[in-house]
Amino acid sequence: MPSIYYDRNADIKTIKKKTIAIIGYGSQGHAHARNLHDSGIKVVVGLRKESAFWKRAQKDGLKVMTVSEAAKAADIIMILIPDDKQRAMYENDIAPHLKKGKAIAFGHGFNIHFGQVVPPSTVDVFMVAPKGPGHLVRRTYEQGAGVPCLMAIYQNASRNAKKIALAYAKGIGGTRAGVLETTFREETETDLFGEQAVLCGGVSELIRAGFDTLVEAGYSPDLAYFECLHELKLIVDLIYEGGIGNMRYSISTTAAYGDVTRGPRVIPQSTRDEMKKILGEIQDGSFAREFILENQANRPVFNARLKRDSEHQIEQVGEKLRKMMPFVGKKLK
């Protein structure tokens, strides 16, 4: 079992006299910066001069600098920009300012684990990764609660990296809910697998397959949308609140029987074997290499597949039906 740390295990005084640079001001960046600021920590935000977030961060009461300026001014540099942008920004704007005694931190282990960012041995390297989107990290903090976090130490040059990481996690509210200790390797590989095989890739394909099956059999696309996509949130909420058993307890007997007898036919051994293959590609670096090369080539496959999927019938049907349901949240842009 991993170690779990709470407020009593972390001392925010460890970072009270330090300056923390948050690189990026997107979903996670804005939450980390504002929570740390409200915890009494000196925060600067590092952005490109042309960034659309520059004025937003200033409006939120934060000091904004270029990435290079922020990296130079900070004792702790937290990188919260997309994985595919980190290597170039690190090499150009951050690495020149990584003097002995500083710390560099990440919200995801991809670039450290796969060797795309290689910090000098004289700095601490740690990760604090909230297990929730940025808006939730911010909202729960304001409510006096927090989102659970993962924490990992990659380099402990100062021999104080764990205390610094826990203090950082406390500053964003993570220790209110619990901070689980892990490794960069474990976080990276499990995170990528969950995204690809279950939470994003697996779910998206399962939804479309169910929708297509019903429509091809002559059923109404509107009803297919409700049965295979719209109601998914209701089921996920039940699982989120109390596990799979809670969901099965809450649904009808007919639905529960169909769950336990037909689910294994939808996800047979061949699917489980493919999941193992996907995990293997993550573990041996094949996926990382593919992703890095895809971005270097300006994403031809990625963009083509996003366009293809955006034109799927379920997207058009959903756009129409959601307009009839004002209680459904607005689509993120």
100-129 pLDDT per residue, tens: 999 999 999 999 999 999 999 999 999 999
Which among 144, 129, 130 has a CA at the least distance from the CA of 38? 144
Task: Give the active site residue among 30, 32, 37, 108.
Answer: 108
Overall average pLDDT of the 285-294 stretch: 98
Q: Are 95 and 67 within 8 A, CB to CB?
A: no
Give residue 82's pLDDT: 96
Q: What would the pLDDT profile of 15-34 be if each residue is shown by its tens digit?
A: 999 999 999 999 999 999 99
296 C-beta neighbours (distance < 10 Å), count: 9
Q: How far is CA 237 from CA 218, 225, 229, 233, 241, in A?
A: 30, 18, 14, 6, 6
Overall average pLDDT of the 122-150 stretch: 97
Domain range annotation of the chain: 4-182, 191-322
pTM of the shown model: 0.93
The CATH homologous superfamily for domain 4-182 is NAD(P)-binding Rossmann-like Domain (3.40.50.720)
Angle between helices 184-193 and 269-283 (to 10 degrees): 140
Is-catalytic flag, 312? no
